[in-house]
């Protein structure tokens, strides 16, 4: 079946000099929505074992914990980029982050856990990488694939160039070769692709993309790195996955 442009969906509004302008609604998915098209037997097994309601509760709790961790790290990095003083940045996030999280109604036990995981990051080798920070919590999109996302950190790394990094929390190490690792790498490919498209006129090239996984029960920080040809492959694979999503959702005309 060939996707067709549906004239009934066109909306006419006032445009330049009050002249009629035609608008057509599109479904624009997030990166996670596109990646959910990849089957994950481990996640499906988890749902079957604990039940949908319990799984929802577990994921919600994990989300709150991750939100708290992200908040502490984000405020630390923003202040570090300005002051270049780790102690000043630490004091800033300690004062600012709990207030933000309380306003967002994150439970205190999740705030405490997020703080604990932040300190694991703070005392690791990774916390000194972001002095040349370009931005945090960046909203991204692809103007050619009609998909959007948000990444945690974009920075310059000495001897490497521009790097994009996302922070994750997990109860255990991400297994090499697992579907979760595959999805994380595909996500990195998406972010690299978005940034290069958005800043094409400035000839921006993403040389490296990483996921930092902060564990809930260990001080260990796991780093998943994607660079070189592997990063190029992940960009290509995400592009294919995204086009397939649009075709499945009757928007294949975007690429025809």
Whether residues 135 and 163 share a domain: the answer is yes
Q: Is 234 a domain residue?
A: yes
Last residue of a domain, which of 97, 113, 128?
Answer: 128
Whether residues 108 and 184 share a domain: the answer is no
Instruction: Please give the DSSP secondary-structure letter assigned to residue 173.
Output: P
Whether residues 112 and 134 share a domain: the answer is no
Whether residues 104 and 189 share a domain: the answer is no
Whether residues 240 and 175 share a domain: the answer is yes
pLDDT at 146 over 90: yes
Tell me how many degrees the CA angle 156-97-58 measures, rounded to the nearest 5: 95
Whether residues 73 and 159 share a domain: the answer is no
pLDDT in tens, 8-63: 888 999 888 889 998 888 899 999 999 999 999 888 888 888 898 988 998 899 99
Percent of the chain with pLDDT over 90: 76
Last residue of a domain, which of 77, 102, 128?
Answer: 128
Let me know if 228 is exposed, middle or buried by CB neighbors in 10 A (0-12, 13-18, 19+).
Answer: exposed
Look at residue 5 in the predicted model and tell me its pLDDT: 72
pLDDT at 2 over 70: no
Q: Is 154 a domain residue?
A: yes
Whether residues 85 and 199 share a domain: the answer is no
pTM above the 0.85 mark? yes
Tokens in use for 80? 């570090």
Residues 6+ apart with CB under 8 A from 101: 67, 68, 71, 110, 111, 114
**Could you give the CA distance from residue 196 to residue 88 in angstroms, rounded to a whole number?**
33
CA nearest to 127, candidates 93, 174, 159: 93
208 is in which domain, residue-wise?
Answer: 30-36+129-256
Instruction: Give the strand pairing for 161-170 and 147-157.
Output: antiparallel
**Could you give the CA distance from residue 70 to residue 115 in angstroms, rounded to a whole number?**
9
pLDDT in tens, 84-140: 899 999 999 999 999 999 999 999 999 999 999 999 999 999 998 888 999 999 999
CATH number at residue 213: 3.40.1350
Whether residues 72 and 138 share a domain: the answer is no
For residues 239-253, give the mean pLDDT.
93
Alpha helices in 38-125, H assignment, sequence order: 41-50, 52-83, 86-103, 108-122
Domains: count for the chain: 2
Last residue of a domain, which of 71, 94, 128?
Answer: 128
Look at residue 1 in the predicted model and tell me its pLDDT: 39
């Amino acid at each position: 079946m060939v996707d067709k442009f549906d004239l009934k969906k066109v909306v006419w509004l006032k445009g330049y000099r009050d002249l009629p302008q035609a608008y057509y609604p599109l479904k624009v998915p997030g990166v996670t929505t596109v990646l959910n098209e990849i089957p994950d037997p481990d996640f499906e097994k988890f749902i079957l074992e604990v039940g949908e309601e319990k799984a929802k509760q577990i994921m919600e709790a994990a989300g709150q914990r991750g939100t708290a961790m992200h908040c502490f790290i984000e405020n630390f990095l923003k202040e570090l980029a300005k002051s270049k003083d780790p102690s000043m940045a630490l004091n800033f996030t300690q004062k600012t982050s709990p207030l933000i999280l309380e306003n967002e109604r994150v439970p205190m036990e999740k705030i405490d856990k997020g703080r604990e995981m932040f300190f694991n990051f703070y005392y690791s080798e990774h916390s000194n990488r972001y002095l040349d920070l370009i931005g945090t919590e960046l909203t991204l999109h692809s103007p050619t694939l009609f998909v959007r996302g948000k990444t945690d950190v974009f920075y310059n790394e000495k001897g490497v160039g521009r790097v994009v990094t996302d922070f994750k929390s997990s109860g255990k190490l991400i297994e090499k070769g697992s579907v979760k690792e595959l999805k994380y790498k595909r996500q990195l490919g998406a972010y690299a692709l978005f940034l290069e498209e958005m800043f094409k006129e400035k000839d921006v090239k993403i040389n490296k993309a990483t996921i930092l996984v902060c564990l809930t029960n260990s001080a260990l920080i796991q780093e998943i790195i994607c660079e070189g040809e592997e990063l190029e492959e992940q960009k290509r694979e995400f592009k294919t996955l995204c086009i397939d999503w649009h075709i499945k959702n009757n928007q294949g005309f975007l690429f025809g």
